[in-house]
Structure 1
Amino acid sequence: MQAKAFDTNLFKRILKYTKPYKARYYGVILFAVSLSVFAALRPYLLKQTVDEYIKPKDEHGLLFYVTIMGIVLLLETLSQFYFVYWANWLGQDIIKDIRTKLFKHMLSFRMKYFDHAPVGQLVTRSVSDIEQIARIFSQGLFMIISDLLKMIVVLFFMFYMNWRLTWIVILAMPILVYVTRIFQRKMQVAFEEVRNQVANMNTFVQERVTGMKIVQLFNREQIEYEKFKEINQKHNKAWIKTILYNSIFFPIADIISSLTLGAVVLYGGFHILDGDKFTTFGDLFSYTMFIGMLFNPLRQIADKFNEMQMGMIAANRVFDILDTDKDVQENGTLVASHFKGNIRFENVRFSYNDKEEVLKGINLNVKAGETIAIVGATGAGKSTIINLLNRFYEINSGAIYVDDQNINDFELESLRQQIAIVLQDVFLFADTIHNNITLNNPNISREEVIEAAKKIGVHKFIKTLPGGYDYDVKERGVMLSSGQRQLIAFLRAYVSNPSILILDEATSSIDTYSEELIQKATEKITQGRTSIIIAHRLATIMNADKIIVMDKGQIVEEGTHQALVTKEKGYYKNLYDSQFATEVE
């Protein structure tokens, strides 16, 4: 859905965000009024100066009026300053509030929303589109109000001073309006093409920079270079078209303005020569200024309406996200201060979409302090169990209990504080190791982090890095190996002191040395707490109190390693013989 430039309901909604800043909002309007009055007053004072004091050669009166004109100019300058400053300040405060509200709303979405919403689109809505909303106030609404007020006041003074000369100007205005409208339409098409080419270029460059390793491995440098030249050429042509339209329009607008001024001077000059008392030299002097004040806003108003329209379109996109309620996570009322760790799934059914059910009536019991392992083929539903326990998604039917309390009854924040997860694909922020471990939690001190690192055997590894705990791992932790990232993730989970620990294939793609460290860390952090391990490595599975075997969304077997491995033609035995036995060999 595309917003219109004057979508009344949308515009009213945007204006609601000005309520906390009412004084500034009305202040901007007040300065717009004063700016228009002072701007129109200067040419009028010029007329009075020429007719009343320069022509009669009154030096004292001339000095007095020049002083008044200086004061008016000063007031106009101050009005201009406060008008522009407050309008932009108001716009920035409004988008600050909208952006904060938008980000908070996005944080409340279920994971299902992020499965379908492109990341780039959400970033654009949170940054570029919201910045465009600010231009409604800084370059659109108030500028249009100011220009219209200035034109009205200027026309009032012009009619008051000389209505005959004013009609010449008014007759020329429709021509400029018509030319401006044509220019606006052409520029809309041209800018749309520019935006498309910019998007194409951004996409191309981002993909090639991200995949530079593939480009160079397969000797694609020259091919990609030629493709980029082609895209860049299209981008260049699109911009040249906008330059062409500007080069045509503004000279035409200047010619219309100059011709109008010439007609005024010619008409007024003949009347002065004929001795007409209704036209004076002061009129001609002042009209040279009035015509510029009248025509310049008129030719620029199309651009300001475009700014308004683009701001409204951007606001519509942002409000679409703010109005998304069906994907917001429901919240409970109970605060989970600490869990014993009893977990129970009762006939849980779940699907990511309407076409395929992922979990088909799961019944699962985990006792407090137990370590269970979940195994099965890819797509069996192992990770889905973890996602549902953390309420990343809502189940279709059934119930999940922790310590005999339905997890829907807990506040989300308190529920997730009691559950720590170490994923296979560890995400680290572009920050220090210390901040990635604590996630900027002020309740976790550096001393606690170091002590925890020593307990699980990670401290020595961290101290070998430049800067130790202050080492910046860069975006997504690219400065660390996958094994090192896993160790940081284990320490992150440990310092949070969870009641329930989840390891989701946390040792599936690391080197032997890192695995030994992680096995030691696993033994330490699983002590005294309920642990759920989704694993591909034999050592973790064999040490589990119970193994849950899943296939196609159902639990097909459960028991200890020894019990399951001796079960003839069992699913786990087949899995063990085909996948795990090689590790023993």
Structure 2
Amino acid sequence: MDKGIIRQFLLTYITKYKKIALLSLMLMLFTAVARMAPPYILKVAIDRFIARHDFYGLSLMALLYLAFIGMEYVALYFQIYATQLFGQSVIKEMRLGTFSHIMGLPVPYFDKTPHGKTLHYLTSDMENINEFITSGIVTSFADIITIVGILCIMIFLNLPLTGVVFVFFTLLFVVTNSFRKRFSAAYRDTRESVSEMNGFLQESFAGIYVSKAFNRKNVEIRKFDDKNRMYVTAFKRVIFYLSLYFPLVESVGTLSVLAILWASTEVLL
């Protein structure tokens, strides 16, 4: 299916609850600010008050630190609530619209398409879309806000070290982008395999009396085994890419820490 059609389909339902989405994004912005403030407060406390043995100033920094931690937790609570409310509201409308569309399809569609496959569209696929909306779209905005904020603070504090971080950030982006299409294809094959297996199960259970009457138990088992093997093969591809991707991300993270430590010594010396 064309990506433009999918995007338009999602936007049709998402825009109905744009107020909840906007509230969620505002809470994300507040959460990001509250999350980025404590490390800077800790820096100020160490540089200005601990070095000077200023207990009064250190106490104020500690109270300010705790205040931002508390604000982060409160904002995060409402953010998660608003995000989940947004996702469930969209899925409710989408599931109802999809069911209405399916009920209006001509009879030949139901003759050609297994009922289990159609049921899969209304259940598992809808949950995947919900996960995409809440943990994909909305969380991505939160991560982008946090990353931009951190980069701005880092540029303000130390431009050379920020350049080192940006090099590895670019490398991480290249690694992630190189795996993106592979992950997409692998997960698509997995969903198709699950859909085929669910459709077969529904047909098998619906025709259980016929299967028993004609002693087709072993035939049905072999067919299900083929469907099951297709799913396992598709999921093995997902596992293979995951086993490559996450170690690469960890390696880039470790190299970035080493590079920052080396660059820090060069700056200090």
Aligning the two structures, in what range does the TM-score lie when normalised by the shorter sequence? 0.7 to 0.9
Kindly state the Cα deviation for residue 146 of structure 1 after the two structures are TM-superposed: 1.0
- Does the 8 A contact of 2:95 with 2:122 survive in 1? yes
Identify the residue that residue 16 of structure 2 maps to in structure 1. Answer: 17
Kindly state the Cα deviation for residue 33 of structure 1 after the two structures are TM-superposed: 0.8
Provide the C-alpha distance between the structure 1 equivalents of 2:219 and 2:90, rounded to a whole number of angstroms: 46
Identify the residue that residue 161 of structure 1 maps to in structure 2. Answer: 157
Q: Give the 3 Å change call, closer, same or farther, for CA 174–13 of structure 1 in structure 2.
A: same
Kindly state the Cα deviation for residue 207 of structure 1 after the two structures are TM-superposed: 2.3
Provide the C-alpha distance between the structure 2 equivalents of 1:115 and 1:230, rounded to a whole number of angstroms: 29
Provide the C-alpha distance between the structure 1 equivalents of 2:99 and 2:190, rounded to a whole number of angstroms: 29
Alignment of 1:89-238 (within 5 A): 89-100=85-96, 103=99, 109=104, 113-118=105-110, 120=115, 123-238=119-234
Q: Give the 3 Å change call, closer, same or farther, for CA 4–57 of structure 1 in structure 2.
A: farther
Match of 2:29 among 9, 20, 33: 33
Identify the residue that residue 2 of structure 1 maps to in structure 2. Answer: 2
Kindly state the Cα deviation for residue 61 of structure 1 after the two structures are TM-superposed: 2.7
Question: In the TM superposition, what whole-angstrom CA distance separates every residue of 1:160-194 from its partner, at most 9, and x where no partner exists?
Answer: 11111101000111211111012212111211221
Alignment of 1:410-449 (within 5 A): none
Provide the C-alpha distance between the structure 2 equivalents of 1:105 and 1:166, rounded to a whole number of angstroms: 52
Alignment of 1:335-354 (within 5 A): none
Provide the C-alpha distance between the structure 2 equivalents of 1:55 and 1:5, rounded to a whole number of angstroms: 60
- Does the 8 A contact of 2:13 with 2:93 survive in 1? no
Provide the C-alpha distance between the structure 2 equivalents of 1:40 and 1:97, rounded to a whole number of angstroms: 36
Q: Give the 3 Å change call, closer, same or farther, for CA 106–182 of structure 1 in structure 2.
A: closer
- Measured on the aligned residues, the alpha-carbon RMSD in Å equals 2.7
Question: In the TM superposition, what whole-angstrom CA distance separates every residue of 1:6-44 from its partner, at most 9, and x where no partner exists?
Answer: 94x55553343115xx2x333212101111111221221
Q: Give the 3 Å change call, closer, same or farther, for CA 101–233 of structure 1 in structure 2.
A: closer
Match of 1:74 among 55, 70, 74: 70
Residue aligned with 1:63, SS: helix
Provide the C-alpha distance between the structure 2 equivalents of 1:216 and 1:106, rounded to a whole number of angstroms: 31
The yes-or-no answer on 1:264 pairing with 2:260 is yes
Identify the residue that residue 79 of structure 2 maps to in structure 1. Answer: 83
Higher helix proportion (structure 1 or 2):
2
Q: Give the 3 Å change call, closer, same or farther, for CA 92–115 of structure 1 in structure 2.
A: same
Match of 1:49 among 23, 45, 49: 45
Provide the C-alpha distance between the structure 2 equivalents of 1:66 and 1:4, rounded to a whole number of angstroms: 51
Question: In the TM superposition, what whole-angstrom CA distance separates every residue of 1:501-559 from its partner, at most 9, and x where no partner exists?
Answer: xxxxxxxxxxxxxxxxxxxxxxxxxxxxxxxxxxxxxxxxxxxxxxxxxxxxxxxxxxx
TM-score after normalising by structure 1 = 0.42
Q: Give the 3 Å change call, closer, same or farther, for CA 244–129 of structure 1 in structure 2.
A: closer
Identify the residue that residue 240 of structure 1 maps to in structure 2. Answer: 236
Residue aligned with 1:182, SS: helix
Residue aligned with 1:117, SS: helix
Question: Whose radius of gyration is greater, 1 or 2?
Answer: 1
- Does the 8 A contact of 1:33 with 1:149 survive in 2? yes
Q: Give the 3 Å change call, closer, same or farther, for CA 171–79 of structure 1 in structure 2.
A: same
Kindly state the Cα deviation for residue 229 of structure 1 after the two structures are TM-superposed: 2.9
Alignment of 1:520-539 (within 5 A): none
Residue aligned with 2:52, SS: coil
- Percent of residue pairs bearing the same amino acid type: 23
Alignment of 1:275-354 (within 5 A): none
Q: Give the 3 Å change call, closer, same or farther, for CA 67–88 of structure 1 in structure 2.
A: same
Equivalent pairs counted in the alignment come to: 265
Query: 61-70 vs 249-258, which deviates more?
Result: 61-70
State the one-letter code of the partner of 1:115.
V
Provide the C-alpha distance between the structure 2 equivalents of 1:199 and 1:123, rounded to a whole number of angstroms: 9
Higher relative contact order (CA 8 A, sep 6+): 2
Q: Give the 3 Å change call, closer, same or farther, for CA 17–127 of structure 1 in structure 2.
A: farther
Provide the C-alpha distance between the structure 2 equivalents of 1:243 and 1:106, rounded to a whole number of angstroms: 34
Provide the C-alpha distance between the structure 1 equivalents of 2:258 and 2:183, rounded to a whole number of angstroms: 29
Q: Give the 3 Å change call, closer, same or farther, for CA 194–102 of structure 1 in structure 2.
A: closer
Kindly state the Cα deviation for residue 268 of structure 1 after the two structures are TM-superposed: 0.8
- Does the 8 A contact of 1:186 with 1:245 survive in 2? yes
- Does the 8 A contact of 2:31 with 2:75 survive in 1? yes
TM-score after normalising by structure 2 = 0.85
Structure 2 gaps, min length 5:
none
Q: Give the 3 Å change call, closer, same or farther, for CA 199–154 of structure 1 in structure 2.
A: same
The yes-or-no answer on 1:252 pairing with 2:248 is yes
Kindly state the Cα deviation for residue 124 of structure 1 after the two structures are TM-superposed: 4.8
Structure 1 gaps, min length 5:
275-585
Q: Give the 3 Å change call, closer, same or farther, for CA 132–197 of structure 1 in structure 2.
A: closer
- Does the 8 A contact of 1:190 with 1:241 survive in 2? yes
Provide the C-alpha distance between the structure 2 equivalents of 1:182 and 1:16, rounded to a whole number of angstroms: 31
- Does the 8 A contact of 2:120 with 2:195 survive in 1? no
- Does the 8 A contact of 1:88 with 1:137 survive in 2? no
Identify the residue that residue 452 of structure 1 maps to in structure 2. Answer: none
Provide the C-alpha distance between the structure 1 equivalents of 2:5 and 2:53, rounded to a whole number of angstroms: 53
State the one-letter code of the partner of 1:17.
K
